[in-house]
Amino acid sequence: MSSLEVVLEGPRGRAELLDRYVEFVAARCRPNTVIATVSDLRVFFAVIDKDPAAVTPADVFEFITAQRRGSGDGRVVRLADGGSGMAARTIRRRLASVSGLFNWLVLCGDRAANPVPRGMATRRTGAGGQATGSPLIRTPRTLPKVLDPADVILLLGAVRHWRDRAMLEAMVLGGLRCCEVIGLRMEDLQPTNRRVFIADGKGGHQRLIPMSGQFFQSLSNYLSLERPTGATTDAVFVALKGARRGGPLSIDGLEQIVRAAKGRAGLERATCHQLRHTCLTRLREAGMALEAIQAQAGHRSIESTRVYLHLADGWLASEYQRASDLIDASVGVLK
């Protein structure tokens, strides 16, 4: 049985071909990318039950329609946008995984063309008179959700261990991703310089970032009072009880800790990623340069960081007020 748990009869069955592609992806991508690719391909071929060589653009549009429709009766909708099917970003990601498969098949000589359209043609022309296209799936531009300072205080006050407080502070004071918190090793900590080395960030990129003294205080309390002395792993954050006591904590474990603290604090929302967004937004509000926030966050592109300009309350208002004052002054001169 293959990793995709689907079998197609024939000398080059679908499962064998897809396993070969997954091996190709695994050789050049991060583990999370491989997991997402396997999941996306499984979903696609569950809807389009064909040999990859027989898939057509019409099948791709049928898949998009099925994703937008969802598997329910339409009575359950997303609160964010009122849709009943999969979110546009999810559909777009799945199409990217499927397109990657077909690009690989084209390069291998097993297909003449990729059946996943790159976009929809429009009447508009761009530079050089060339026709422009619109995206196959339009994804709305939404702003990340952040927590109010009072909610952060309530959340930190609701944790039951110094370990948990240190992990939450790593995200809300340092802007770490949940996977980066779990991935911290003892050798990555530099308490004297108040620095933390991220050895395995998103995309495998490394960075050395400053961290709040409050985090290191909570961390010190955890290491001296709570961390099992018999722990054999070099992971900073480990399980404190149960069969996995002393073993590395998982991302699921961290997310469960945040959910439990959110419930005890009586908050409607609080996730690991919202804690990270909250940190980066507050840093921008405090006047931290956008390039410095990019380095702190581990963003490869400054465009990913620009969203925090819109989240920072004072930035847009101050920029508008400055421009408005200049306009008012010029109008006054004209009068």
Query: pLDDT, tens digit, for every residue of 5-22?
Result: 443 333 357 888 899 999
Q: Is this prediction's pTM over 0.75?
A: no
Domain with CATH 1.10.443.10 in the chain: 149-315
Question: Which CATH number is correct for 149-315, 3.40.50.10800, 3.50.50.60, 2.60.40.10, 1.10.443.10?
Answer: 1.10.443.10
Range from 122-126, 259-263, 294-298 that averages highest in pLDDT: 259-263
Cβ pair 101, 42 in contact under 8 A: no
- Cα–Cα distances in Å, from 256 out to 127, 149, 198? 51, 22, 23
The token pair that represents 303 in the structure block: 């465009």
Give residue 242's pLDDT.
87
Using pLDDT thresholds of 50, 70 and 90, give the confidence band for residue 3: very low
- Cα–Cα distances in Å, from 235 out to 164, 180, 189, 250? 14, 11, 11, 11
Domain with CATH 1.10.150.130 in the chain: 14-119
Give residue 6's pLDDT.
41
How confident is the prediction for the chain on average, in pLDDT? 84
Residue 59 has pLDDT above 80, yes or no: yes
> pLDDT tens, 216-246?
999 999 999 999 988 889 999 999 988 889 9
Give residue 286's pLDDT.
86
Using pLDDT thresholds of 50, 70 and 90, give the confidence band for residue 306: confident
> pLDDT tens, 134-165?
677 777 677 778 899 999 999 999 999 999 99
- Quick one: how many helices (H) and strands (E) in the chain? 14, 5
Percent of the chain with pLDDT over 90: 53
The CA distance from 247 to 230, in Å, is: 10
Of residues 138 and 121, more confidence is placed in 138
The CA distance from 188 to 163, in Å, is: 16
CATH 1.10.579.10 fits 14-119, yes or no: no
Cα dihedral across residues 176, 179, 185, 186: positive or negative: positive
Give residue 132's pLDDT.
55
- Nearest Cα neighbor of 279 from 185, 202, 178 is 178
Cβ pair 136, 119 in contact under 8 A: yes
Phi/psi for 317 (5° steps) reads -65, -40
